[in-house]
Amino acid sequence: MTRASDLISSLPTDLWLAGKQTPASTGARFGVLDPATGQKLTSVADATPTDGLRALDHAASAHAMWAATPARERSEILRRAFDLLHSRAEDFALLITLEMGKSLAESRGEVKYGAEFLRWFSEEAVRISGRYSPAPAGTGRILVTKNPVGPVLAITPWNFPLAMGTRKIAPALAAGCTVLVKPAEDTPLTMLLLGQVFADAGLPGGVLSILPTSDAGSLSRPLIADPRLRKVTFTGSTGVGKLLVAEAADRMLRTSMELGGNAPLIVFDDADIDAAVEGTMLAKMRNTGEACTAANRIYVANPVREQFTMKLTARIEALTVGSGTHADTDIGPLINDRQRRTVSALVDDAASKGARIRTGGRVLDGPGFFYSPTVLDEVPHTANLLREEIFGPVAAIVGFDSEETAIAAANDTRFGLASYIFTENLDRAMRVSAALDSGMVGINRGIISDAAAPFGGVKESGFGREGGTEGIEEYLDTKYIALQ
């Protein structure tokens, strides 16, 4: 047996319910594919709405116990989970590569990043505090306490199968909430293995349930309608986010929404061009371009545009495309054929409207869902890929003449998650950061994610923050107690 087949055959593939592996109530299962081959890796239990409600029974009855568990104990369980995750880091990395496709080096990066939320929130769990003050009128005293919101439903996407889960689970558990996780149907295996880590770390049964399903809407709707559920936290597309907010509105359910992006990356003529190229490689090509923070629109000052484009094209042409399990692979497959067709259609649309293809621009022969790393220059403003998320290894370059036009173009989108700027001028960096309508700005760097920083967007990229000292607030209610 290979290491991959060994790992796959040892995985938990049933639902995590009440701290135990449990088949779906119907016994149904669905297949999980390796996007590098199109072949089935294994199958997992297919949770039904009844299974969802059973998980909510457990979450609701465990809630008081977990909320009353001393913060130090909650913290230590999270810290043990962090250590256990690290002790199995190679298994997690291989599993992420097998079900999602990214290179092993990138999967190792995700394991490190994803684990960091467990450590960060183990540290935040013991720092939940309130406030006491005398009422200014001298009529009493004001006491403010922070309390766990209650059972949480967390719905996660496939592009970071581990980190998008730990970014929600860790702060929720730290705050004293019980959690139901619905992982993406393309990548449920990593989350199910994380369930094992939490069981081994001593998390009491019922506090965390993991519910893969082939029918997300049918599972989540009755949960959202149930008064025992107190919060929905979602990472995924803006379309599904809007649907969930509408469903949640009926009960005024608290929601956090980490939605789609359309990040501008601006290279000014005073930038260090080599550093800008390296930053763009990270902001664009990391995760095969399948990141909500991926640079979707690359605006380059016209005097340096050709120099930048040539250097970027040379770097992108040198990338090795292949199965993420091969040691020399830089760019793995896209998640599935649907995603590849979307990317291909966006590139064809841009080319038909006049964009120049500097490299790539084609679907690669199978098996697997590969697309060639691509650079497009002179992308016209009418191209669909300037308005929609590309979610693939395609760099779209547009020239600009002035700082004002660059800012206006960057802000001309319904999204507002991440932005990037490259300049050696500090005044300009601060001025443009302030003018950009996005939740996060990277200055002279292509990766901005950090467990210690608040991640999130504005406009149709959603609301709420994950990570940082802000992240735990999403799972706490504020109570004011008036003392005589």
Active site positions, annotated: 258, 292
Q: In sequence order, which residues have a C-beta less than 8 Å from that of residue 110 and are 6 or more positions away?
A: 93, 96, 102, 160, 161, 162, 163
Q: Which two tokens stand for residue 312?
A: 């970027």
CB of 201 to ligand NAD, least distance (A): 24
In the bound state with ligand NAD, the residue whose beta carbon lies nearer, of 240 and 436, is 240
CA quadruple 7, 8, 12, 15: dihedral sign: positive
Residue 477 CA: distances (Å) to CA of 42, 126, 128, 190: 41, 16, 11, 30
Assess contact for 385 and 355: CB atoms under 8 A: no
CB of 234 to ligand NAD, least distance (A): 7
Task: Estimate the crossing angle of helix 71-87 against helix 163-175, to 10 degrees.
Answer: 160
Q: What are the DSSP calls for 229-278, one per residue? A: --EEEEES-HHHHHHHHHHHHTTT-EEEEE----EEEEE-TTS-HHHHHH
Rounded CA gap, 51 and 23, in Å?
9
Which residues in this chain contact ligand NAD in the complex, by CB under 6 A? 155-159, 164, 182, 184-185, 216-217, 220, 235-237, 240, 243-244, 258-261, 292, 389, 417, 457
In the bound state with ligand NAD, the residue whose beta carbon lies nearer, of 262 and 372, is 262
DSSP summary character for residue 455: B
In the bound state with ligand NAD, the residue whose beta carbon lies nearer, of 70 and 217, is 217
Position with the least CB separation from ligand NAD: 236
CB of 243 to ligand NAD, least distance (A): 5
Rounded CA gap, 251 and 479, in Å?
20
CB of 238 to ligand NAD, least distance (A): 6
Assess contact for 445 and 439: CB atoms under 8 A: no
Rounded CA gap, 390 and 297, in Å?
9
CB of 36 to ligand NAD, least distance (A): 18
In the bound state with ligand NAD, the residue whose beta carbon lies nearer, of 377 and 389, is 389
CB of 378 to ligand NAD, least distance (A): 26
In the bound state with ligand NAD, the residue whose beta carbon lies nearer, of 198 and 415, is 415
Assess contact for 456 and 475: CB atoms under 8 A: no
In the bound state with ligand NAD, the residue whose beta carbon lies nearer, of 210 and 300, is 210
Query: Which stretch of DSSP H or E encloses residue 115?
Result: helix 104-124
Rounded CA gap, 135 and 132, in Å?
10
